[in-house]
Structure 1
Amino acid sequence: MPTSQEQQPSFGEVKASASKNIGQLLQDLQSFEHAIETENVAEIYRIYQGKLHKELKETSNQNHEIDNLLARKLHDALLARFEYLQFVKKISPTLLQYRIGQYYHQRPTIMVDVSVPKIYIEPTVLNEWRNFNETDQSQLKEIEQKINQLDVQNLTLQSEVEELEKKLLPINKQIQLMSQQKTIFNRVKNEEEYLQLLNTKKQLEADIQKLNVQKDDDTTLNRRKEAYQQDYFNIQLHRALITKELRLVQKYATSLDHLEAELMQFITDYLLPREEVQANDKGF
């Protein structure tokens, strides 16, 4: 059985191993530094995402220096390849937003993640594009029905209230008449009938009050209608936006599938090893 002393590496072996590791770190650092100086994007990604030591990564990108460099390079290359894309916003050091064309209502639709790198259609937008049916008016018709139902419901309740008020009118007259014909003992001649009329009146008034609570006044009704009309307008506007976006996709990229394929191919080409390039001074 070997002893613990026999299992321990010699000082020379430790020294050689340490020297090799340090040498590799220095070599990686020099290669990384050279890639940055020459703005060799493919090499930067290869080293930064691969074998570069964690501490070196954190130090070199402490203030997002690497992120900013990669964002600028990718931005320039992207707009050179897709001239119809419009930069919208840099929402983080590594996440950029773009849109297709210059339609003033348009939202950000293309996302670029510099850290991967990855370029893709924003998921919510992609889902809307793929499932959009320009002839489908179901959402708008549903809101129209809700607006109509408000009027119908209110008119129905108003009719019921008026009907009950018609029934209440002769009862009130009868109660008033019987009250005026009280005896000298302050009692109505037919007390049982009188009490029955009072109960009927009470029930009718309760029913009327209940219906009035369910029925909107003009202010409330108009406010609810306006809310539905705003929803209607927003849906119309959003559908028009999607229609315009899809027409721009067709104009510039033939189809949605072709656009996705072009974006994927762009990243593939962008990361291909290539000859060192001189620093590009184009601003971002």
Structure 2
Amino acid sequence: MRAMTTRAHTPLAFMKMHGLGNDFVVVDARVRDFDLSKSQITAIADRHKGVGFDQLAVIETHSDADAHLVFYNADGSTSAACGNATRCIARYLMDESGTDALTLTTDRGTLYARDAGEGLTSVNMGQPQLLWSEVPLSHEMDTLALPIDGAPTATGMGNPHCTFFVDDAEALDLDSFGAAHEHHPLYPERTNVQVAQVIGTDHIRMRVWERGVGPTLASGSSSCATAVAAHRRGLTGRAVQIELDGGTIWIDWRDDGVWMTGATKHVMSGEFTADFLARAK
């Protein structure tokens, strides 16, 4: 886990945001250094005793970009990418600076964000990773149709994805299906799992199981991976509208990367008390 420093016995400011119900706790480390242990992260993620989140995101300064973003899952593990959190933070930073475009860095790489108008925010999540070693998978194979029942497609978007195309996305028990495939031995770093129903050449219904989290109302990187997989399999064009449990997102796989556009919401700002943080260590 990335090393950080904290001031003892003081509260920690945070923001709660969501993109289509995919929710985040965001900490701005540009204004205060801090250190969160894995146990503190999981305590904050508890929806009954903490605040609750799908991912925790940290905003850091960067010498060659507007900000650097770091992501943690609800189980305390790290993720190189989180598309919806990136969109939420991009909207926050654009509102803060009065600009309509940003450059952000993540462990996934450099990402570009822009104001798409009508309250929507777009982020270029970069080119998908299509080779087995990039996803990554445990050994060499064709990523288009994995040797798993249902022949899902593997895609890397800075984190691994496994997309199943089904006749009815509502019919599957996502809790058991997602849990069973997150830890499939073909995925040494575990995987996000999507079940996708193609409605038309530019329209998909999708449900998501996120690695280290569980079922979520939406996922930006999963939406990107599903759009890429659907086009590779000849099921859709390169631009699709995806209906998630939390709302609609638009994905466009262009020459310069996979662009993701959707709504965001800054719900509240608050503080974790020093007592809560100390007890959670």
TM-score range relative to shorter protein: under 0.3
- The two structures have a TM-score, normalised by structure 1, of 0.24
- The two structures have a TM-score, normalised by structure 2, of 0.24
Higher strand share: 2
Larger Rg computed on CA atoms: 1
Higher helix share: 1
